[in-house]
Amino acid sequence: MGTPQKIFAATLCAAWVILLWVSVHAVAAMGINAAGTVFIADFSHPWRAQFGTDFAIHLLLVASWLVWRSRSWLVGIICAVLAINLGSLFTLAFILVSMLRNGGDLRKVLLGYRA
């Protein structure tokens, strides 16, 4: 991997660790069951509704990309479900593993078997 890819991989790792820490803190402070209640309740506030809608669309787009780039529909669907339920905790790790498997070639990371 070249220097830009190493910087990108390091950024993915840092973002994943930060998100994991924030997620663990949220679960410890409010419990796992509060996630759905808080997320749905946020739609009563216009700006939180905008953010939540934007986030949901982003998750669906990433899930669609994971299915499209996958050689197997089954693996693609499993990855899509994980991305929708775990968000960046799954997606960042998926991209990092894909980068490591493909020697940092972002074309192969993005296109999967279509590269």
Work out the pLDDT band at 70, boundaries 50, 70, 90: very high
Q: Which burial class, exposed, middle or buried, applies to 80 when counting CB atoms under 10 A from its CB (0-12, 13-18, 19+)?
A: buried
Q: Residue 82 has what pLDDT?
A: 96
- Res. 1: pLDDT tops 80: no
35-53 pLDDT tens trace: 878 878 888 888 888 988 9
Q: Give dist(CA 33, CA 49) in Å, integer.
A: 20
Domain boundaries, the chain: 3-114
Question: What pTM was computed for the model?
Answer: 0.84
Dump pLDDT digits (tens) for 2-34: 888 899 999 999 999 999 999 999 999 998 888
